[in-house]
Each structure stands twice: as structure tokens, then as C-alpha cells.
Amino acid sequence: MNTFSVSRLALALAFGVTLTACSSTPPDQRPSDQTAPGTSSRPILSAKEAQNFDAQHYFASLTPGAAAWNPSPITLPAQPDFVVGPAGTQGVTHTTIQAAVDAAIIKRTNKRQYIAVMPGEYQGTVYVPAAPGGITLYGTGEKPIDVKIGLSLDGGMSPADWRHDVNPRGKYMPGKPAWYMYDSCQSKRSDSIGVLCSAVFWSQNNGLQLQNLTIENTLGDSVDAGNHPAVALRTDGDQVQINNVNILGRQNTFFVTNSGVQNRLETNRQPRTLVTNSYIEGDVDIVSGRGAVVFDNTEFRVVNSRTQQEAYVFCTGYAVQHLLRFPRRKQPFQCFR
């Protein structure tokens, strides 16, 4: 499997993708110490120009006069509200993540709800609806891979096949909190469900926090090199924080949108997301959608295994061609800077 690792970049996505300087990186991975204006092959921003590329700029509110979002680190309680794990285990309140999410939403409280997930593999989708209060979902293992949420979904699959895979045994039913999300996809009259409905984990929750777990669309290399949207994580809510999370897939791995409860894009708001200390993997449009996202101390890996062809990474400035060394062979790598 050929890979290209883009380590610890701070990336901002604001109705497009812009790579910016990073903040918490080891000394050997820090940006060049050149001073502005740099060189033609490595242009450097001046201090004044760089002011437009910090987190506060991207996290500004669209509401005139409102303060920018200034997120604090995720903190966990001594006792969570819900615990997901094997049946019969002490302290476990639910055996599936979706059931715990439903229970948290049904409380209809504006107080943050904490859901702890014990180590294990959790097969199936997770939908987190819009709610008055934020949801914090976190793994209790030693590392993110200890808690794995996964399913194989392809944006090109038919609505009938999608219903079969996503809703076994009536997981989503009328009257349940996430029914409206499921229904917006299962009622499609098109031949395929499309990218927006291919997500394994989909949240419309403002204030969502995810920590210490893995989310994967396991479609992987089971398909050809054609167009196969397969979202691992989709977030529509504002002020979302993701810390120490593995987000794994191939095409459209991480999708941020400004969609409303009707699953349609809204032009009057811009969701803001902070991703820290995480790992994101894919091969095409790894991060996409509409929103403002800042990545800090996060590793991106281009997994070029479906096509065995060249890889492309977009940064700032001029187009420069590099030769990328993969294990056992060389692959051309294009960086648009």
C-alpha cells in the first residue's frame, strides 16, 4: 500500500481548503525559519499577512458584533451520563452507541451529555441529531484504535441497499430522535444515495465533542478507482471539537457541511470545527465540504492503494513538482503551493 504522510499541518477549510502554519509541532517538523517574503519556491507571509490565517480568524462569527469562538480543551467528568459496552458489564447503560445517543437526546436538556464508550468494535452507523445541548462521545481505551466505529458504505449504492445495511432490525424508527436524519436519505428517489448519505458517523449536533476513538468507512479498496464517495465522519453542527481521533477512509473521508435538518445546504451559516492531535487517512478529497476547520497537530496520510497513481496535495502559492518516495517504488507527487 503506497502512502504519503502530511504530518502535523494546521489546515483551515473555509468554503475551500487553505493550508496554514501549524502551532504545536516538534522542532524537527516546524515550518521554515525563512523570513518574509521568502523565495519564489517558498514564499513566506509577513506578520500582517499571517494575521488572516490564525484560528480566531477562521472561528469568527457570521453574526455582526459577535465574538469569535474560542474553544477550550475537552474535559471529561468523573462519571459520564451514559456508558456503552458489553451487556452485563458493570456500569454499562447501553450496548450500542446509537442507543446511548438516543437516550441523551431524549433528555432534551441544554446541559452537555457525556457518553463513555468502552473498548470494542461497534459495527454500524451513528447519527447524532440536533439538540439543545452538546454531546461528548469518548473512548475509554488507552488509544483511539481501542474503540472502533465502522461500516462499509458507498455513495454509489442504491437507496434499497443502503437501507438494508444502515437500518437492520429497525435501528432507526419513526419517533426516535435520529429518524429524521435517516429518513432524509432512505426516502431518496435517485439511483444512488450520494456523498452526503454515505457517512458512517453523522452529526448535526452543535457543540459535538469526539475524543479517543476511531471512525472508519471500511469500503476501502473493495471498489475500483472510480467515483466512490465513502464518508467516515460528517459533521453539520457548529463549534465541533475532535481530539485524538482516527478518521479513516478513502474518498471524502471527512466531510464538513452547513446542512440543516432537511439535509440541504444552508447559505446563512458557517459551521466551525477544531481538530487536534488526530489522524486522517484517504485518497481523494480527504477533507471536503463547506465550513471553517482548523487542524492542529494532526497527521494526514494519502493512502494511494486503489489506483497506484500519483498523489496531489494542495497548499499555497505556486505549482511545484516533487518526486515522492513510496516503499519499493517511486511515485510522482504534485504540491500546488
Which residues are the active-site residues?
A: 285
Query: Within its chain, how far is the Cα of 269 from the centroid?
Result: 19
Burial class of residue 199 (count of CB atoms within 10 Å of its CB; 0-12, 13-18, 19+):
buried
Query: Within its chain, how far is the Cα of 281 from the centroid?
Result: 10
Q: Which amino acid is at 79?
A: Q
Name which of 89, 135, 144 is nearest 110 in CA terms.
Answer: 135
**How many residues comprise the chain?**
337
Give dist(CA 247, CA 261) in Å, integer: 24
Q: Which amino acid is at 127?
A: Y
Quote the DSSP letter at residue 330.
E
Backbone angles phi, psi at 166, to 5 degrees: -85, -30
Give dist(CA 228, CA 3) in Å, integer: 19
